[in-house]
Amino acid sequence: MKRRNTRAMTTGAALGLAMVGLVAVPSPATAAAASKCTGEQHKTYDTIGADLDVYVNLCVSRTSGNDYQATVKFRWSDGGGGLSTGMDKLKVNLRLERNDVTQRSGSADWAEATNFAQSGNRGFSTTTFHSTTTGGWTADGDIDWDINNDGTGGGTTPLQGSPEI
């Protein structure tokens, strides 16, 4: 009987240690999906015809699998004056940043679209960036522009970055 108790106690202790080992092993962290956006940013470009009004939102998002991405939503009104009265360049530059360091970027030039349509909507996203490092992620960007036939050579309009996630 004594031998049986010893064996049962040894088996019980081993089982207890095995269960503690299972409990002590951490599982990989899964982040909650999140998204933060700027308010709509209005910019006006003094073209030869009606002034071109553009409206931009920048967003940063994270999936539950820790993939980060920046997105721009772009719309315009008062366009459509044609090439002779519109834009030579209206290039939106988008960046996915962590603590002001670019991780992914992309751009799109919508001069032709704004020259030939009175109004419209466009948008695009950066490719995703996988990271388990949290905090400090933002979407940021600017617009490189050049008004046709104005003789100034254009410039760059900075955009307000998104809140961080």
- Position 29 scores a pLDDT of 58
List Cβ neighbours of 161 (8 Å cut-off, separation of 6 or more): 38, 58, 97, 138, 139, 140, 141
Is residue 52 within 8 A of residue 26, CB to CB? The reply is: no
Q: What is the pTM of this model?
A: 0.80
Q: Are the C-beta atoms of 52 and 44 separated by less than 8 Å? A: yes
State the average pLDDT for the chain: 87
Containing H/E element for 64?
none
Q: How far is CA 19 from CA 7, 15, 27, 29, in A?
A: 18, 6, 15, 21
C-alpha span between 34 and 6 (Å, rounded): 55
Give the residue with greater pLDDT, 24 vs 46. Answer: 46
In the numeric block, which tokens belong to residue 62? 């994270």
Distance CA 152, CA 143 (A): 16
Task: Tell me the backbone φ, ψ of residue 22, rounded to 5 degrees.
Answer: -65, -40
pLDDT digits (tens, 9 = 90+) for 61-106: 999 999 999 999 999 999 887 766 799 999 999 999 999 999 999 9
Q: What percent of the chain has pLDDT over 70?
A: 81
Least confident of 18-27, 39-48, 110-119, 138-147: 18-27
Where residue 116 falls (left for φ over 0; alpha for ψ -120 to 50; beta otherwise) is: alpha
Q: What domains sit in the chain, N to C, each tagged with a CATH number? A: 34-158 (2.60.40)
Residue with tokens 């994270």: 62
